[in-house]
Amino acid sequence: MEGTFTKHVNNTGEVCGNDSELSLKAETFCHFTYMKSGKQLMVVDVQGVGFTLCDPEVATTDLLDPVEHAVLFCCGNLGLRAINQFKENHICNKYCDILKLEEFMPEPKDGNQE
């Protein structure tokens, strides 16, 4: 691919894009996939040149297939660690608002649900 390669969201869930419209849309896409899947998975590792994006990863809340006991979506699935990293760093933007995506609530640090 010709042009400047940009990573918007890493496979670890780290938000690494800038405040460009494309980066905002990439973050919203990750947020959308999590909500649309019923909070079961998130597409991360969003990267590419312009609007040509490539090589995404899927992070799942359950890392292993319950029947085959194999890692779901291959070894690039960093599971809840990636999902939680994204949730901690993502700031909802105008595209999240347009899609009416639920904002992420901070995870309790001490395990209490209060």
10 occurs within a structural domain = yes
Query: What pLDDT shows up at residue 111?
Result: 52
Query: What pLDDT shows up at residue 71?
Result: 83
114 occurs within a structural domain = no
Burial 65-98 (b: 16+ CB within 10 A, else e): eeeeeeebbeeebbbeebbbbbbeebebbebbee
Per-residue pLDDT of the chain (114 residues; tens, 9 = 90+): 899 999 999 999 999 988 899 999 999 999 999 999 999 999 999 999 999 999 999 999 998 888 888 888 888 899 999 999 999 999 999 999 999 999 998 666 655 544
Query: What pLDDT shows up at residue 35?
Result: 97
111 occurs within a structural domain = no
Query: What pLDDT shows up at residue 26?
Result: 96
pTM: 0.88
How many structural domains does the chain have? 1
106 occurs within a structural domain = no
Domain that holds residue 94: 5-98
Query: What pLDDT shows up at residue 42?
Result: 97
The answer to whether residues 95 and 8 touch, using CB atoms and an 8 Å cutoff, is no
105 occurs within a structural domain = no
71 occurs within a structural domain = yes
104 occurs within a structural domain = no
User: Looking at residue 27, which CATH number applies to its domain?
Assistant: 3.20.200.10
30 occurs within a structural domain = yes
